[in-house]
Amino acid sequence: MPETPPAPSPDPPQGPPGPPYADPSDPNATITPGDGGAMTLATSDAATLENGPLPGGTGSGKARSLWSDAWHDLRRNPVFLVSALVIVFLLLIAIWPGLVASGNPLSCDLARAQDGPAPGHPFGFDTQGCDVYTRTVHGARASITVGVCATAGAALLGSVLGGLAGFYGGWWDALLSRLADIFFGIPIILGGLVFLSVVPSGSVWPVVGFIVLLGWPQISRIARGAVVGAKQHDYVQAARALGAGDARLLLRHIAPNAVAPVIVVATIALGTYIALEATLSFVGVGLRPPTVSWGIDISNASIQIRNAPHMLLWPAGALSVTVLAFIMLGDAVRDALDPKLR
Partner 1 sequence: MGRYVIRRLLQMIPVFIGSTFLIFLMVYALGDPIAALFGDKAPDPATAARIRQELYLDKPLWLQYAHYMGQILTGDFGVAFNGQEVTELMADAFPVTVRLTLVAILFEIVIGVTLGLLSGLRRGRSLDTGVLLLTLIVVSVPTFVSGYVLQYLIGVKWAAVSPSVSPEAPFGELLLPGVVLALTSLAYVTRLTRTSIAENSRADYLRTAVAKGLPRHRVITRHLLRNSLIPVVTFIGTDIGALMGGAIVTERIFNIHGVGFQLYQGILRQNSPTVVGFVTILVIVFLMANLLVDLLYAVLDPRIRYA
Partner 2 sequence: MRPRGYGLAVCAVAALLAGVISGCGSSRGGTAVGAVRASWGDPQGPLEPANTNEVQGGKVLDMIFRGLKRYDPRTGAAVNMVAERIDSPDQRHFTITLKDGWIFSDGEKVTARSFVDAWNYAALVDNKQKNAPFFQDIEGYDQVHPTQGSATARVLSGLAVKDERTFTVALRTTFSTWPDTLGYTAYSPLPRAFYDHHEQWLKKPIGNGPYVIDSYTKGSQMRLTRWDGYAGPDKARNSGVELRVYTDNNTAYTDLQAGNIDLVDDIPSAQLKNVRKDLGDRYINQPAGIIQTLDFPMYDPAWNKPGMEKVRRGLSMAIDRKQITEQIYRRTRTPATDWTSPVLGAKGGYKEGLCGDACGYDPTTARKLIEEGGGLPGGRVTITSNVDTGSHRLWMDAVCNSINNALGKDQACTVNPVGTFADFRNQITDHRMTGMFRSGWQMDYPLVQNFLQPLYYTDASSNYGKFSDPRFDKLVDEANAESDTAKAVAKFQQAERILADRMAAIPLWYQNGSAGYSTDIADVELNPFSVPVYERITVK
Handedness of CA 36, 264, 237, 170 (dihedral sign): negative
Using the minimum distance from each CB to partner 2, give the nearer residue, 77 or 304: 304
Is there binding between residue 271 and partner 1 (CB under 8 A)?
yes
Determine which residue in the list 181, 202, 205, 246 makes contact with partner 1, applying CB under 8 A. 181
CB closer to partner 2 out of 169 and 286: 286
Single out the residue of 60, 136, 159, 299 in contact with partner 1 (rule: CB under 8 A): 299
| First CA to last CA distance, the chain | 32
What is the Cα–Cα distance from 297 to 287, expressed in whole angstroms? Answer: 11
Q: Binders of partner 1 among 246-265, rule CB under 8 A?
A: none
Q: List the one residue from 193, 239, 249, 263 that touches partner 2 (CB under 8 A).
A: 193
- Going by the DSSP 8-state scheme, the letter that residue 22 receives in this structure is P
Nearer to partner 2, 21 or 125 (CB): 125
Q: Which stretch binds partner 2 (CB under 8 A): 169-177, 196-204, 228-236, 327-335?
A: 196-204
Span of 87-95, 123-131, 170-178, 235-243 interacting with partner 2 by CB under 8 A: 123-131
For residues 42 and 172, give the distance between their C-alpha atoms in angstroms, rounded to a whole number. Answer: 10
| 187 interacts with, out of partner 1, partner 2, none, CB within 5 to 8 A per kind | partner 1
Report the residue from 300, 314, 316, 336 that binds partner 2 according to the rule CB under 8 A: 300
Residues 103-122 that bind partner 2 (CB under 8 A): 104, 106-111, 113-114
Residues 17-56 binding partner 1 (CB under 8 A) are 17-19, 22-27, 32-35, 41, 44-45, 48-49, 51
- The radius of gyration of the chain's CA atoms, rounded to the nearest angstrom, is 22
Sequence-separated (6 or more) residues with CB below 8 Å from residue 149: 204, 208
Contacts of 99 (CB under 8 A, 6+ apart): 92, 93
Distance, in Å, from the CA atom of 283 to the CA atom of 299, rounded to the nearest integer, reads 9
Rounded to 5°, the CA angle 319-324-330 comes to 130
